[in-house]
Structure 1
Amino acid sequence: MKLHEKLLERERMNAPITVGLVGAGQMGTGLVSQVASMKGMRVSAIADIVIERARRAFLAAGVPEQAIVMADDVATADEALTAGRRVITRSADLLPQLAGLEAIIEATGVPELGARIAWLSILGRKHIVSMNVEADVTVGPLLKRMADVGGVVYTGAAGDEPAATLELYEFAQALGLTILCAGKGKNNPLDRRATPDSLAAEARARGMSPRMLCSFVDGTKTMVEMAALANATGLRPSRRGLHGPQTDIEQLTKVFALRYQGGILEEAGVVDYAIGNVAPGVFVVFTSDLPVVIDELRYLKMGDGPNWVLYRPYHLTSLETPLSVARAVLNGEPTIAPTHGMVAEVIAVAKRRLRAGEQIDGIGGSMIYGLIERAEIARAEQLLPIGIAQGAILRTDIEQGQPLTYTDVMLDENQTVVQLRRLQDQWLLTASSGAMVTSLSGGRE
């Protein structure tokens, strides 16, 4: 049965998939309205620190004011859900505890909150759809393992570039094509020194959070997305920070070619990105050494070769995310997950000279940006993952452009993301991880 047919069946049974959303920003609000037009699914609860933002998201989706209930405790919230009403709350931690929800979507982009809500959702036997790629590239492998043990699905979101690129990758992989490079077009110009203050006016004009826009412009978001793709496919970063050439769709097969072909790649099987009219699309550059296949590709007007490109010219961000909910609940499968473990890491690099004693402001701030690196190199050099950097105190001065290491900082050990990361590192290095993860996920193997 197709996904849409399964949703129609849930609609006919008057048993729609019930969803809780954490984060009613631009993406979350669009998602709520999109679900309102679907069959067999409903957003039943929204958590946001700005409670009126949660209320407005429901109102924009056509939910009557009188059907919205504010709740700060489990009993009140579950009673409202049982009565068919919608719940808003300031407490993100409340949603994973609610019996009336089947799946949680986390849409804040804050690694600490993303990690904690995913962990609590798994403990609460809820499927978790993470739009928080920042948390995924930090502790995603552990969260996936915990979800597998707990009998629920941990997944990234359809609509984001990693999942959109994965569709093309799996198509090419299944056909046995040789994949040279997979990646995305970057939407914003690259400025490693961008800060929320320098982008404040543009952010206001675009209706965006300055920190979110800053993470786009300084390149951190692209690094995070390509790391998620690497961890889902096994493709490796082409180099630290990737190449990111200025190019266009027509030149992708020439630019993302091997060195001996006149391209920029040292090896096949990598992730990278492009700046230019490739955005907002995603791509996979592939080749074949079979004469009949080459002739067929030329006949189909795919180009003369020796490389060809699969290109998807769009990604619909949060408007596609409900499909990940449906796949998780109805099919028990993720849209995208770090099935290859930690292939790539996103490391923290100083935007300016940092002083000992300063507290790091995190992703999208004025102090650090992210660069992708191969996980084994990051581990060998003890480079600091950007997802656990926020709140850390600097032990020493750091020069602009210098990567941070674990020894440079005192981490905030009270953060869930830090605790999970330490556990993940231990799990990936030892054979005793099974008992450890079983214990954290509620003892179910």
Structure 2
Amino acid sequence: MFIYQDLLARADAQNPVRVGLIGAGKFGSMFLSQVPTTPGLRVAAIADLRPHHARAACAEVGWADDLIEAVAFTDNAMAMIARDDVDVVVEATGNPVVGVAHARHAIREGRHIVMVNVEADVLAGPLLAEEARRAGVVYSMAYGDQPALTCELVEWARSCGFSVVAAGKGTKYLPAYHASTPDTVWDHYGLTPAQAKEAGMNPQMFNSFLDGTKSALEMAAIANATGLAAPPDGLAFPPAGMDDLSHVLRPAAEGGQLSAKGQVEVVSSLERDGRPVFRDLRWGVYVVIEAPNDYAAACFRQYGMNTDATGRYSAMYKPFHLIGLELNVSILSAAILGLPTGATMGFEGDVVSMPKRDLKAGEVLDGEGGFTVWGKLLPARTSLERGALPIGLAHGVTLKTDVPMGQPITWADVTVDETLEAVRVRREMETRFGDA
């Protein structure tokens, strides 16, 4: 991908790529920090529920006053999307319900859409991506986030003629984390509530990273973009460092921990007893590949690749990701090349709502990272067969029945507003792609 010269030409011609950002939180702020030093790129408008907060975020990341004054700040995302001076919309709210609405509106208005909002993408991405393709606009994952970076590694491997055995990311995981709540999250991170508050850290959001939900969402997004399978009974989170990927992430029949070749998985930076994994991949992404022939396997050895004992499995990885600091790649790829940096193609994986404890009829679910549910990755077919409630719709809905811990919550267990656009889109997506 060579786009920097195009950026310079756009800057000289005073024809910048014009961006509309929805959500000026951490991800959005990281993107904004790169704008002043990127020629040929301009933020035309920022929509946030608190426009004054968005304006302050620009100042906090180092924007000069004149740059801030050139931006239109608003709390009306739909109106911002329709502006004539917006080429690419960045959806960074993290709210699956509003994210679906924003994405569909951007597509109708002929705007490219970069979906930082993986929650919305997993909820209804196959349908949204199809609508975008029909409209002739780009629907893209967000480069800098782990799903897009993993998809890039998968694309590299396949384009080089390798078969992909496994792909995914690293995280900090122990089985007990599935029960973590916003009240206990900082204990696991090694912070006090006061320290977290001072840093502006949202306990429910950070808990979604810890309790397994965010990992499940990101692996579902990768599966749906690449066609890799979701594990039959959810992510196993095997401990594995950078040197162990090709040994651990091979089929169980060959001494590894995969149920089969060609699936997504997350590796833990902690052993099950809490000891740190050597050379962990907590902040990174990986792909495990298989040599297609003896000659390629010999090349693995000759060029110093880490392999399993057979020499046929090896891994490529990126140890870090820079979140919003790398988002320009997606924006510019969409606007200049007309290509996504990863995009949903099918419905391979889904994230279902699992109780964190025995739940009673009448309780209200509080969604991703909350006190009541966590998200578990399952094959899409399994999710549909069980009638499981997607985690993206498990917020603000009331249970009609008791649901014991360990059993997925189903559509039949809750009262859902069927008139909600996100619910209607999800239902349509299930019908359209459920048998694919």
TM-score by length of 2: 0.91
Deviation sequence 1:158-189 (CA, Å, 0-9, x none): 01111111111111111221221111101465
Please report how far the alpha carbon of residue 315 of structure 1 lies from its aligned counterpart in structure 2 after TM superposition. Answer: 1.1
Deviation sequence 1:190-241 (CA, Å, 0-9, x none): 6111112223616426532111101001010000000000001110012322
Paired AA for residue 376 in structure 1: R
In the alignment, the residues of structure 2 paired with residue 21 and residue 37 of structure 1 have an alpha-carbon distance, to the nearest angstrom, of 17
Give the alignment partner of residue 143 of structure 1, picking from 128, 132, 145: 128
In the alignment, the residues of structure 1 paired with residue 305 and residue 185 of structure 2 have an alpha-carbon distance, to the nearest angstrom, of 40
* Structure-2 change in CA distance of 1:66 and 1:16 (3 Å): closer
1:393 maps to what in 2?
398
Q: What secondary structure sits across from 1:170 in the alignment? A: helix
In the alignment, the residues of structure 2 paired with residue 258 and residue 400 of structure 1 have an alpha-carbon distance, to the nearest angstrom, of 30
Q: After TM superposition, list the pairs within 5 Å mapping 1:85-100 onto structure 2.
A: 85-100=70-85
CA contact 1:68–1:88 (8 Å) conserved in 2: no
In the alignment, the residues of structure 2 paired with residue 100 and residue 387 of structure 1 have an alpha-carbon distance, to the nearest angstrom, of 31
Identity percentage over the alignment? 38
Paired AA for residue 293 in structure 2: L
2:184 maps to what in 1?
198
Please report how far the alpha carbon of residue 6 of structure 1 lies from its aligned counterpart in structure 2 after TM superposition. Answer: 1.2
Give the alignment partner of residue 262 of structure 1, picking from 247, 250, 255: 255
Q: What secondary structure sits across from 1:180 in the alignment? A: strand
Q: What secondary structure sits across from 1:249 in the alignment? A: coil
1:217 maps to what in 2?
210
2:433 maps to what in 1?
428
Alignment of 1:379 onto 2:384: yes
Q: What secondary structure sits across from 1:118 in the alignment? A: helix
Please report how far the alpha carbon of residue 416 of structure 1 lies from its aligned counterpart in structure 2 after TM superposition. Answer: 2.3
Q: What secondary structure sits across from 1:271 in the alignment? A: strand
1:72 maps to what in 2?
none
Q: What secondary structure sits across from 1:360 in the alignment? A: strand
Please report how far the alpha carbon of residue 49 of structure 1 lies from its aligned counterpart in structure 2 after TM superposition. Answer: 1.2
Q: What secondary structure sits across from 1:99 in the alignment? A: coil
1:17 maps to what in 2?
17
Paired AA for residue 23 in structure 2: G
2:328 maps to what in 1?
322
Alignment of 1:300 onto 2:293: no
Deviation sequence 1:1-59 (CA, Å, 0-9, x none): 92111111111110111111111111111111112210111112111112222011222
2:167 maps to what in 1?
182
TM-score by length of 1: 0.89
Q: What secondary structure sits across from 2:32 in the alignment? A: helix
Paired AA for residue 132 in structure 2: A
Q: What secondary structure sits across from 1:155 in the alignment? A: strand
Q: What secondary structure sits across from 1:39 in the alignment? A: coil
Unaligned ranges ≥5, structure 1: 70-84, 432-445
In the alignment, the residues of structure 2 paired with residue 150 and residue 54 of structure 1 have an alpha-carbon distance, to the nearest angstrom, of 30
Alignment of 1:279 onto 2:272: no
In the alignment, the residues of structure 2 paired with residue 44 and residue 220 of structure 1 have an alpha-carbon distance, to the nearest angstrom, of 33
Paired AA for residue 186 in structure 1: T
2:141 maps to what in 1?
156
Paired AA for residue 96 in structure 2: P
In the alignment of these two chains, the number of paired residues is 415
2:95 maps to what in 1?
110
Please report how far the alpha carbon of residue 352 of structure 1 lies from its aligned counterpart in structure 2 after TM superposition. Answer: 1.8
